[in-house]
Structure formats: structure tokens, C-alpha cells
Structure 1
Amino acid sequence: MSQPAAKNDPLNLALKQLDHLCRIVMSSRLRADGIEISYPAAAALCFLEETPGLSGAQLARWAMVTPQTMNQILTGLERDGLLVREADPDHGRILRAFLTARGLAENRRCETVAEQLVEDMQNGMSRADRSEFLRLIHRCRDNMQQYAKLEKAAGEEELVLPNKKVVRKKAAAKKVTPK
């Protein structure tokens, strides 16, 4: 039977610290490689290569920044020639973002840095450990996604993960337990 985490080292704090440290190291390594791009901007490039035509609001949710921050990021990436934005044919106010050839090349550079960061983060872990760690992190994420869906306030946006279809519905804000 597994042991619970010590009270002085809660899992949620450890995850937040890991995320924070990954952002610091990634940003530092990007700069060291001459890549003048922020961590959320690198995430936007990655998401846009994976799923072209995302809106700023979708990218903001995926990169976990505000829509205003993502709009600033996209404006900078567009100014630098890394992406273009086009009006959505069905909803003219929505701008869809697409990487340019330069944006694709810059994303490749960012991905190389990110791959090394992940390798360094998992240093000392066996292949089985790495697989199990990822499986457990995904289970935790999926569990919390279910709680977020059940507990969200009426009218709030859901966190939509890349390539996951989400049914939007209004729900009253109350504490519930998934079945």
C-alpha cells in the first residue's frame, strides 16, 4: 500500500514548484540558445504546430495565461513574422493563428530545448519510472479535470486540453464527487 505524502511536502506544492522550476530553466536555456521568446510564447508555438488555427482564447487556456496576456504574446509573434492571424470565416471577431515557416523553424528550436529539459528533469529515472510517472501525472490531471467540470460555476469556461473535445454546459457551483 502506498504511503501518503508528508504534511510538510504536499503533492500540490511539489507540482507547483516543479512547474515553476521548469519555467525558470526553460526560459534561461532559451535565452542561452539565442531564442528570444517567453515560456508561454514557446507553448503557443508548440500548440499552434500541433493544432493550427487556434484562437487566442484557446491558446490562453492551454498556456495557462490570461486572454489579454496571450493577445500580447500573439501580437509580438505576429510582429516577428512567426505567425499570421486570420478572421474566422464563421465568427469574424475571432482571430485564428497559424505558424509561418519562420514560426515552424523557431518552434523546432524551442522543442529541442524542451526535450533536453524533460530529459534532465527525469535524470536518474528508469524507462519504467518515466512511464509510470507520466501515467500517474495524467491520472491526477484527468481526476482534477473531472472535478473542474463538476464544480465549475455557471457560465465559466472549462480548461480544454489540446486535442480533447469538451462538451460545454452550465452547472451550478457546488462541491460534488465524481462517481
Structure 2
Amino acid sequence: MGQDGAGIELETSLGYLMKEVSSALRTAMEAVLRPLGMSVTHYSCLELLAQRPGLSNSELARGTFVTRQAMNVLLQALEADGLVTRSEQPASGRALPTQLTPAGRAQLATASAAVRGVEDRMKSGLAPAEQVALRTMLSTCAASLRAT
């Protein structure tokens, strides 16, 4: 606890523990993605596009937790590498929908296997029922924070 008694006990703080897990997960993911020439944001972008083709720059930025500007730079690089295509004309408004190319799907398949290995390692100490309970609790925590 802080010197004045108003601080947070780091050993019992759920927020601190969640940040510690998040940091460890990101580090482990970066370690398996780096040899593939990818970052976590790069991987997350491809994964989102595989699951939700046609997302706009803004939607991808929100889904990968980066700014629109950072996503635009990433999308330009992914397009130059032949991993995604973006329409010349917006479907509606100003948003240019983005799609994975076959090369993007191939890169994603390799990266997904590597990331799945990290997630498997992370949850290896949990029984299947505990994994389900953890997913439920984390989803509930996120929903509670979004609701306020």
C-alpha cells in the first residue's frame, strides 16, 4: 500500500495482475511473430480481416488498439507487400474496405499457429472448466468497464 495508506496493494490488485499478464502475453507473442516479420498489431490486423472482411481503416484501428494514423501506415505496408487489397472506391462514405489476399491468408495461417501455441502455453496450468470460467470473468470485466 502507498505511504499514506490510500494506494493499491499490487499483490492483490486485479488491474495490476491483468496488466502483468497482458505484458507477458504481448512479449511472448512478439517473440514468435518477430521471426515471421510481423508485430502483434500486424498479426491482429490480418486476423481481424480474416474474420471480418471489408473492415475500414478506423474499424481495424479500434480492433487492434492503435490510432487511425498508425493503422493507415500499417495498411500501406501490408498493401505494398501484397498481403491486403483496398478498394479504390469506398463502399459508402469515405471508408475504403480492406481484404486479405491469398498471400495474406498464407502468412496469417503461419502466424495463427504460432500465436495459438503461446495461448496454449499461457493456459496450460488451467483445467478446461477454469479456462471457460476465466473467459467468462474477463468478458464480464470488460463489459462492466465499457458500460460506465
> Quick one: which amino acid aligns to residue 26 of structure 1?
M
SS in 1 for 2:97: strand
Gaps of 5+ in 2: 1-7
Q: Distance in 2 between matches of 1:19 and 1:65?
A: 16
Name the structure with the higher helix share: 2
Q: 124-133 or 8-17, which moves further after superposition?
A: 8-17
Q: Distance in 2 between matches of 1:144 and 1:137?
A: 11
Q: Distance in 1 between matches of 2:71 and 2:63?
A: 10
SS in 2 for 1:84: strand
Report how far residue 13 of structure 1 moved: 1.6
Q: What is the number of equivalent residue pairs in this alignment?
A: 139
| One of 9, 14, 18 as aligned partner of 1:15 | 18
> Quick one: which amino acid aligns to residue 15 of structure 1?
M
- Which residue in 2 is equivalent to 1:110? 111
Report how far residue 8 of structure 1 moved: 2.2
SS in 1 for 2:86: strand
Report how far residue 96 of structure 1 moved: 1.0
Alignment identity in percent? 27
- Which residue in 1 is equivalent to 2:91? 89
Report how far residue 16 of structure 1 moved: 1.6
> Quick one: which amino acid aligns to residue 112 of structure 2?
E
| One of 23, 28, 32 as aligned partner of 1:25 | 28
CA RMSD of aligned residues (A): 1.3
Deviations 1:88-139 (A, max 9, x none): 2322x32111000011111111110111111100121111111111111111
Structural mapping, 1:31-46, within 5 Å? 31=34, 34-46=35-47
Cα pair 2:86 2:98 within 8 Å, conserved: yes
- Which residue in 2 is equivalent to 1:170? none
Runs of 4+ in 1 over 4 A off after TM superposition: none
- Which residue in 2 is equivalent to 1:49? 50
SS in 1 for 2:103: helix
